[in-house]
Structure 1
C-alpha cells in the first residue's frame, strides 16, 4: 500500500462507487484503499487495459464483500509526471455495491482519521 500511495499525485481526485462527491487529495485517497483492503476478500486483478499513450488505464478486478461476489474496475489517469491524478472505482452488481457501501461506511471514521494524520 505504501508503494501505491507513492504513485499518487498530491492533488489526486478519487471517485468512489458509493459516494456521489469525489474526494480530493492524496491523504484521503490513500486512506480509502487501505480500508478497502480489509473489506475485500480474495481481491485480485484479472485484466489490465491501457490506452496507446499510456496515460489511461483500466484494472479489472474481482473480490468478495461479505457473502457477495463483486466485479469492479479501477480507472486510472496519470499526469505529466507519471503520478495518478484521477482514480475512479466502479463495482457491480448492485447487491455487492450495497454491501461495499455498508462495510466502508462502518470504516469511515477510521478512514477520516487516517487521512487527517497523514495530511499533518
Structure 2
C-alpha cells in the first residue's frame, strides 16, 4: 500500500505534507494552472479533507518500488457520490513530486469546486498568517 493511501485511510491529514517533495507539482481537477510547493499542496489536501465525506480507496495501481501509482477512490460531497483518481509520481527518495487528481461526475465536481473555493481561501489565509507570525518572530 502506498504511504499516501495509508495516511489518508488512517485520517492522518497532518502527515501528508511529509510525503511530498519540497518542489511538488499538484494538478487540480478544478484549476487551470498547477500548484507548486509542499506548503501549498499540504494546505490543499487539508482543505480536501474538509470537503470529502466517507473517502475510501477502491483500487491501487502500482506496486512497491514503482514510481507511478494510481489510487482510485470514492467519496461524497454534499450528499453526492464522487469518484476520482490520485495519480502520484515519486522520486528516488520516495517523496511525491507530481500529483494529479481527476474527478467525475460533473454535478459532484461542480459542488466540490464550490466547497473547495471556500476551504482553499481559508487554508491560504491561515498559511499566510502562519508565515507572517514566523517572520515576525525572527
Q: Same fold (TM over 0.5)?
A: yes
For residues 52 and 9 of structure 1, what CA distance do their matches in structure 2 show? 19
TM-score, structure 1 as length reference: 0.92
Aligned to 2:104: 92
Greater fraction of residues in strand: 1
Q: For residues 73-88 of structure 1, what are the structure 2 equivalents within 5 Å?
A: 73-88=85-100
Whole-angstrom CA distance in 2 between matches of 1:108 and 1:88 = 17
TM-score for the superposition, normalised by structure 2: 0.80
Residue 59 of structure 1: SS of its match in structure 2? strand
Q: How many Å separate the matches in 2 of 1:89 and 1:68? A: 18
Q: Which has the larger radius of gyration?
A: 2
8 Å CA contact 1:14, 1:29 repeated in 2: yes
Is residue 27–residue 118 contact of structure 1 (8 Å, CA) maintained in 2?
Answer: no
* Structure 1 counterpart of 2:70, from 47, 53, 58: 58
Whether 1:20 and 2:23 are equivalent positions in the alignment is no
What is the aligned length? 120
Higher helix share: 2
- Higher RCO structure (Cα 8 Å, ≥6 apart): 1
Where 1:113 maps in the other structure, the secondary structure is helix
- Flag as ranges the 4+ runs of structure 1 deviating above 6 A: none
**Structure 1 unmatched ranges of 5 or more:** none
